């Protein structure tokens, strides 16, 4: 809305600005009234036209129809300049259409209010951030999960830039893609994508908890349980562990000192869940990012070390040191087990019944809210068990 509103006022200002000249030229009193009425109607048309054009261009941007170099988008950038003077777009419906590149996006998202007494009504929401290649094969399951809770969550999707989304307008995923860039598995570009998702989600002040998911992730409990589990937790969920072997400490480069020492070096799956405070820290960080960008290349796999190590150093007590996303590593190798039609339901059951975790200091709680990796052909099995559980 912000884009449209400001363009409208721009259009009105500039046309009304010509008003006096017209009236002066016309001279007589009767004639003075008419042109001004006419010009008001004229203004209205111009304003409506302009807002329509901006609206259409904006939606074309979201679907990636326009290339950045096109004439039309340079026309829009004038309107965007006005929006960008605000710290955050008050209306989230325009938030994903901001057109900001990483540098400005991260900087803007890092702003934190310091004055007490927030004058705005805030509904605490969970930001579900999907880091994907392209399609979302388990979308029907997620649609079910989200149904009836639209006030309590926001969805953000990062897919490869060449992917053309095909969600229907009625889908919860429709129009929720952020401006994306190439991502390479295991590379720091994966962290860049994660930070891009976090920054987009931070622009909305309602978002309080931020969970990173992939297209092969499925929810384990219903929305209410998931929401309360996250909102009522006094810790964030980042998996960190100290692996003394070659694929743990073996990946450490001493040139990371003094920012990161070998004793502080940690490993963990990238699927984190953080609160707003930690999310801001992650996107605002330049200290650790520089070290990882320079000295964690190739088989170091920055995406398994950067955020876990940084969170361990800076927020040891604020993270539960476990992830809320379950995976099966018992097969060995560098990828977790994949669950399909035949074994998805049994994996699901095992994960749900795991109550071995500590939550807010008390033992005997559910460990996981999400699980992966589920192949596309597991959908029917999962939907079936979801029906049983009235997910």
Task: Identify the CA nearest to 10 among candidates 66, 80, 61.
Answer: 80
Name the closest residue to ligand NAG (Cβ).
361
What tokens were used for 387? 């029906």
Q: Which residue has the tokens 């952020």?
A: 178
Instruction: Calculate ∠ Cα 388-389-391, nearest 5°.
Output: 120
In the chain, count H helices and then E strands: 12, 9
Looking at the Cβ atoms of 66 and 345, the one nearer to ligand NAG is 345
What is the closest distance, in whole angstroms, from the C-beta atom of residue 68 to ligand NAG in the complex?
44
Looking at the Cβ atoms of 114 and 330, the one nearer to ligand NAG is 330
- Helix (H), strand (E), coil (C) string for 249-295: HHHCCHHHCCCCCCCCCCECCCCCEEEHHHHHHHHHCCHHHHHHHHH
What tokens were used for 377? 């052909």
Looking at the Cβ atoms of 189 and 328, the one nearer to ligand NAG is 328
What is the closest distance, in whole angstroms, from the C-beta atom of residue 280 to ligand NAG in the complex?
17
Looking at the Cβ atoms of 156 and 359, the one nearer to ligand NAG is 359
Looking at the Cβ atoms of 86 and 384, the one nearer to ligand NAG is 384
Q: Which residue has the tokens 């209205």?
A: 44
Residues in contact with ligand NAG by the rule CB under 6 A: 221-222, 224-225, 234-235, 317-318, 328, 330-331, 337, 346-347, 350, 360-361, 390
What is the closest distance, in whole angstroms, from the C-beta atom of residue 265 to ligand NAG in the complex?
23
What is the closest distance, in whole angstroms, from the C-beta atom of residue 329 to ligand NAG in the complex?
8
Residue by residue, DSSP assigns 371-388 as: E--B-GGGHHHHHHHHHH
What is the closest distance, in whole angstroms, from the C-beta atom of residue 269 to ligand NAG in the complex?
15
Looking at the Cβ atoms of 150 and 346, the one nearer to ligand NAG is 346
Instruction: Calculate ∠ Cα 345-350-352, nearest 5°.
Output: 90
Looking at the Cβ atoms of 159 and 378, the one nearer to ligand NAG is 378
What is the closest distance, in whole angstroms, from the C-beta atom of residue 362 to ligand NAG in the complex?
7
Distance CA(391)–CA(389), nearest Å, equals 5
Burial 315-329 (b: 16+ CB within 10 A, else e): beebbbbbbbbbbbe
């Amino acid at each position: 809305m912000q884009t449209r509103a400001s363009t409208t006022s721009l259009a009105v200002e500039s046309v009304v600005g010509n008003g006096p000249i017209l009236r002066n030229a016309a001279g007589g009193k009767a004639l003075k009234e008419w042109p001004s009425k006419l010009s008001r109607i004229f203004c209205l048309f111009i304003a409506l036209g302009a807002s329509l054009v901006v609206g259409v261009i904006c939606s074309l941007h979201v679907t990636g129809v326009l290339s950045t170099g096109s004439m039309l988008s340079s026309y829009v950038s004038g309107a965007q300049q006005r929006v960008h003077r605000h710290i955050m777009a008050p209306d989230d419906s325009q938030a994903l259409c901001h057109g900001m590149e990483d540098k400005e996006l991260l900087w803007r998202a890092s702003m934190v209010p310091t004055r007490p007494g927030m004058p705005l009504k805030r509904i605490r929401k969970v930001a579900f951030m999907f880091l994907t290649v392209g399609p979302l094969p388990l979308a029907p399951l997620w649609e079910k999960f989200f149904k009836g809770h639209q006030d309590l969550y926001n969805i953000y999707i990062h897919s490869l830039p060449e992917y053309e989304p095909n969600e229907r307008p009625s889908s919860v995923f429709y129009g929720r893609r952020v401006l994306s860039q190439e991502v390479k598995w295991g590379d720091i570009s994966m962290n860049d994508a994660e930070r891009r998702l976090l920054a987009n989600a931070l622009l909305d002040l309602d978002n309080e908890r931020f969970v990173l998911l992939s297209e092969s992730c499925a929810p384990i409990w219903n929305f209410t349980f998931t929401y309360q589990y996250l909102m009522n937790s006094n810790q964030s969920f980042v998996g960190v562990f100290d692996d003394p072997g070659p694929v743990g400490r073996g990946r450490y480069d001493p040139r990371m000192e003094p920012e990161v020492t070998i004793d502080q070096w940690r490993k963990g799956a990238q699927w984190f869940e953080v609160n707003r405070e930690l999310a801001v820290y992650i996107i605002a960080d330049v200290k650790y990012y520089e070290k990882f960008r320079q000295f964690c290349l190739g088989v170091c796999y920055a995406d398994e070390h950067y955020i876990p190590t940084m969170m361990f150093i800076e927020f040891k007590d604020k993270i539960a040191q476990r992830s809320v996303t379950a995976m099966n590593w018992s097969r060995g190798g560098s990828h977790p087990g994949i669950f399909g039609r035949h074994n998805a339901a049994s994996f699901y059951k095992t994960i749900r019944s795991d109550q071995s975790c500590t939550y807010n200091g008390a033992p005997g709680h559910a460990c996981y809210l999400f699980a992966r990796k589920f192949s596309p052909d597991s959908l029917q099995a999962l939907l079936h068990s979801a029906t049983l559980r009235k997910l």
